[in-house]
Amino acid sequence: MAADEFWSRVEALRQEVARRRFAGESPEIQLRANEPLVEAVARAIAAERTRVPIRLDTVELWLTEDLARDYFYRAQTALQFWNFYLAHRYLDEAAALSRDDPLHQRVSLFRLLTNFVRAVVTADPGRSKTVDPGPVVDEIDRLDKLPASERDFYKAEVRRLAELLRRRDQDPKVEAAWHFLRARSAFVREEAAGALIPLLRAYRALAEHLNPSEFLLKQVELARGLIRFWVGDGPQPAESVAPESLAYKLHDALDAQAERDLGVRLSVLSGQFGLTLYMEGDGTG
């Protein structure tokens, strides 16, 4: 069979699946034990592309389960970098590709966790510094297809993040780290200019505890002047400033200054606002 004929056969199988779906059926593709090899390959490809099961006698196979797991792992990685949009997008793909009950519950779990971490990271800086972990903990308890140890681990993570956010009022380093994280989140979204305000808030949280270098003070003043100009509350800066470059310079200078004066790197401390992943077998993340 020529290549064109092979792909025409795959397309015909896909069209048949589409017609059966339109008619309200739950289609599957049958594969007989004595199927010619080329026809068997065409049916397998059509099943994978149309996201339907392939049936061999009494055995039902979903050929997209490995892809679903791959998207789930991508979602976990995106969440660890506070990229909430990508995390949800990958979770949607995983849910669409999988028929595995535990994986579906893990997708539900990580939708909850993604929304909770986002609530922690995007809390209003000027208002309440608390988030309620209770509703999320209750929802996690309902995921009965997951091991109790996994559920307990993530319930503890949710409570830890809520407590860490609450500590912003008590510890200026935690307050600064939270703002620093918001700046890092802007970098992840490739919105470096949007990092300037949280970086200035981080500096303000630590200002009385720092002995700032001239370089850091200059970056702070440049950032303040640029923001005043943007909101129409000040003149155009006399010195030409690239917002993206300024944001990275201010980020690095403040991180280094905090390490020199306080013995902490905000880039490391801010990582505490990230979710630790459960590792099956030892109960740790």
Is the alpha carbon torsion for 160, 139, 154, 188 positive or negative? negative
- 196 with 183, same domain: the answer is yes
Q: For residues 72 and 164, state if they share a domain.
A: yes
Q: Is 284 inside a domain boundary?
A: no
- With residues binned 3-state (H G I as helix, E B as strand, rest as coil), the percentages for the chain, rounded to 5, are 70, 5, 30
In a domain, 126, yes or no: yes
pLDDT above 90 (res 3): no
- 187-225 pLDDT tens trace: 888 888 889 999 999 999 999 999 999 999 999 999 999
Up-side HSE of residue 187: CA atoms within 13 Å toward CB?
20
Predicted pLDDT at 128:
66
Q: Is residue 123 part of a domain?
A: yes
Q: Does residue 134 sit in the same domain as residue 84? A: yes
**pLDDT for residue 284:** 42
Query: Of the candidates 152, 169, 186, which is a domain's last residue?
Result: 169
My answer on whether 130 and 89 are in the same domain is yes
Q: Are residues 155 and 78 in the same domain?
A: yes
Final residue belonging to a domain, choices 144, 169, 194:
169
Residue range(s) defining the domain that contains residue 217: 172-272
- In this structure, the answer to whether residues 113 and 207 fall within a common structural domain is no
Q: Is 184 within a domain? A: yes
pLDDT digits (tens, 9 = 90+) for 93-129: 999 888 888 999 999 999 999 999 999 998 888 776 7
- Mean pLDDT of the 146-164 span: 96
User: How many domains in the chain?
Assistant: 3
Same structural domain, 98 and 152: yes
Residue 281 inside a domain? The answer is no
Query: Does residue 283 lie in a domain region?
Result: no
Residues 33, 84 within the same domain: no
- Residue 162 sits in the same domain as residue 71: yes
Q: Identify whether 124 is part of a domain.
A: yes
Asked if 184 and 149 sit in the same domain, the reply is no
CB 249 within 8 A of CB 153: no
What string of H, E and C letters represents the secondary structure of 170-213? Answer: CCHHHHHHHHHHHHHHHHHCCCHHHHHHHHHHHHHHHHHHCCCC
* Last residue within a domain, chosen from 63, 88, 105: 63
Q: Is the pTM of this model over 0.85?
A: no
| Whether 134 and 214 share a structural domain | no
Whole-angstrom distance, CA of residue 82 vs CA of residue 117: 8
**90, 72: one domain:** yes
